[in-house]
């Protein structure tokens, strides 16, 4: 069972025109909406994550999707399910984490139930406020590929945590308390007038590039040397894979017309073709949709 | 750990003015939003529930809350988490159940993840469309108490299922495939001009009566003999408890000015005081907030 295959099963039944982007754009209401869950043992471990960090990150994961749509997050609902051994303090710290992530975003509802493991599901509503809402199917030949945020930090942090290294370095911090790129995303959605593509890198930089390329029916040519990352990551084995495929960084990829000075770092351009061409050490490597879905790590095993 | 105490902990941290009703009313957007979760082993068992019934009921639980707010449900997002032994067919049937519940409501997003048990969290957005949105704190002295739907069916059905009686009778069906009272709720919200109280009976009829009474600072005087239930329920032991305290019927309680002919069944009126007075066999019994929270079953153990 793979997530993307199951989403096709779901689309076949409910036939929704909305499913495709991380947020659904509800034009009649002038809002976008997104929902994502974090399950203990699947998405996080309480062995290395505090309840406050869990609350913070659960909120950020969803806020990042709303920013990447180009809209302004306004309201949040939270479903929290807890085993009996988690007490009032767990709830208190979790919500302190939520509050520290939310800023002006208001928590307006949700529920709290029992469960055998901790389960968090969060829904965020963003207001479009006349902004230009993105879609991963909007990239066009001639556009540029711009990114904001550092790539690979979170995957490197997770690799340390899994080895029992709970140091408070930049990698571990990026995994447990990720920053998101709201300001950059709002600059893009406030400035660009044409249809454009934007996604966060929650499932990795290559995942976002590939999704935009394949849904738009274009080729994204990207220069590895231009990708922004923390120099210290080069000490990790297979660090290039972390930069390209590592998830949970919550950077932003925007694919916009050349003329807009949206900030961020230009890492490539849109060409005729399909998929992603990565220029690495002067050599061009092609990544089809399937290559990226399979996270072809061995491309870097030389 | 009790749900209502934990909600107080949460309110203290995030200080939201929205938390109180089952739906949050977002006036600037003209919408209401609600989110509720169903956890395997806590809210349902797959021993007696099919994936299709689970999908159907998960949707209905949330649609019922939106109707009870007085608004029209429009959009739904769904988070489904599944253990590895659940295959594509499970997802297909679950979504067929969702579809059969949704009617014109559109599924616009969500996610699908792994978990050790089945976990469903659903968010529904309703459009107010100039309707009068309810609040449990809006009941006033002189108003009448009206209900729609039959009470106790679902609790009776659950008691059969727990004994291994999987008959396809009205009780079991009400538990597995509950009906909701959307039409009645929309009639109320379209007709009543003053502030009014309305809630579904997802946590039981007495829970809804008590919540409206205590949040509004009034006394609801209710006549047990007027409450609508299926006569066959009288065969169950402690059937009165099922009618009063049994959850998951998704009936509607509306507390509205006398002059509106909203339909349903009038079961009582609003008086000066606090809590619920139940007239049973010609005798008046008072239920404080705490009595109802503790589900004082022994009131009927004579």
**Chain B CA closest to residue A117:** B116
Residue A296's pLDDT band (boundaries 50, 70, 90)? low
ipTM of the complex in this document? 0.92
CB-CB under 8 Å, B111 with A36: yes
Cα separation, A62 vs A22, in Å, equals 9
CATH number of A23-127: 3.30.1330.10
A58-81 residue pLDDT tens: 999 999 999 999 999 999 999 999
User: Left if phi > 0, otherwise alpha if psi is -120 to 50, otherwise beta: which for A71?
Assistant: beta
Chain B residues whose beta carbon lies within 8 Å of the beta carbon of residue A7: 112
| Nearest CB neighbour to A14, from listed B107, B114, B123 | B107
Chain B residues whose beta carbon lies within 8 Å of the beta carbon of residue A23: 109
The answer to whether the CB of B145 falls within 8 A of the CB of B209 is yes
User: DSSP secondary structure string, B136-153?
Assistant: TT---TT-EEEEES-SSH
Residue A4's pLDDT band (boundaries 50, 70, 90)? confident
Interface A-B: count of C-beta contacts within 8 A? 207
B64-112 residue pLDDT tens: 999 999 999 999 999 999 999 998 999 999 999 999 999 999 999 989 9
Give me the architecture of the B144-300 domain, per CATH: Alpha-Beta Complex (3.90)
Q: Which of A84-88, A118-122, B4-8, B29-33 has the lowest mean pLDDT?
A: B4-8
| Nearest CB neighbour to B127, from listed A29, A81, A110 | A29
CB-CB under 8 Å, B14 with A107: yes
A165-189 residue pLDDT tens: 988 899 999 999 999 999 999 999 9
Q: Per-domain residue ranges for chain A?
A: 23-127, 144-300
Instruction: Indicate which of B12, B35, B62 best probes the interface with A, i.e. most A CBs within 10 Å of its own CB.
Output: B35
Give me the architecture of the B3-127 domain, per CATH: 2-Layer Sandwich (3.30)
CB-CB under 8 Å, A108 with B26: yes
CB-CB under 8 Å, B92 with A37: no
Cα separation, B131 vs B187, in Å, equals 10
Torsion of CA B213, B216, B217, B219, to 10 degrees: -30
* CB-facing half-sphere around the CA of A114: CA atoms within 13 A: 10
Residue B140's pLDDT band (boundaries 50, 70, 90)? very high
From the CA of A241, how many Å to the nearest CA of chain B?
Answer: 23
From the CA of B61, how many Å to the nearest CA of chain A?
Answer: 13
Instruction: Indicate which of B39, B102, B123 best probes the interface with A, i.e. most A CBs within 10 Å of its own CB.
Output: B123
Q: What is the mean pLDDT of chain A?
A: 93
The answer to whether the CB of A74 falls within 8 A of the CB of A123 is no
**Chain B CA closest to residue A39:** B115
DSSP A105: P
């Amino acid at each position: 069972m793979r997530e993307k295959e199951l989403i096709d099963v779901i689309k076949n039944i409910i036939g929704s025109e909305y499913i495709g982007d991380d947020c659904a754009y509800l034009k009649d209401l002038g809002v976008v909406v997104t929902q994502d869950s974090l399950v203990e043992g699947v998405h996080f471990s309480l062995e290395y994550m505090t309840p406050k960090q869990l609350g913070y990150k659960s909120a950020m994961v969803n806020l990042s999707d709303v920013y990447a749509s180009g809209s302004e997050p306004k309201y949040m609902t939270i479903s929290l399910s807890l085993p009996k051994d988690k007490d009032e303090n767990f709830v208190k710290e979790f919500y302190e984490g939520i509050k520290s992530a939310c800023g002006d975003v208001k928590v307006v509802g949700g529920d709290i139930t029992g469960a055998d493991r901790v389960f968090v599901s969060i829904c965020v509503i963003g207001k479009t406020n006349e902004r230009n809402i993105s879609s991963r199917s909007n990239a066009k030949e001639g556009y540029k590929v711009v990114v904001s945020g550092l790539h690979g930090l979170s995957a490197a942090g997770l690799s340390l945590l899994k080895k029992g290294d709970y140091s408070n370095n930049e990698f571990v911090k990026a995994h447990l308390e990720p920053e998101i790129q709201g300001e950059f995303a709002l600059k893009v959605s406030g400035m660009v007038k044409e249809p454009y593509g934007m996604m966060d890198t929650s499932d990795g930089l290559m995942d976002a590039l590939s999704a935009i390329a394949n849904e738009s029916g274009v080729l994204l040519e990207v220069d590895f040397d231009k990708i922004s990352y923390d120099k210290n990551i080069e000490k990790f084995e297979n660090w290039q894979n972390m930069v390209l495929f590592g998830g949970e960084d919550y950077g932003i990829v925007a694919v916009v017309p050349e003329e807009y000075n949206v900030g961020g770092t230009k890492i490539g351009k849109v060409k005729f073709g399909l998929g992603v061409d990565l220029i690495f050490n002067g050599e061009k490597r092609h990544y089809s949709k399937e290559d990226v879905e399979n996270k072809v790590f061995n491309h870097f095993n030389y």
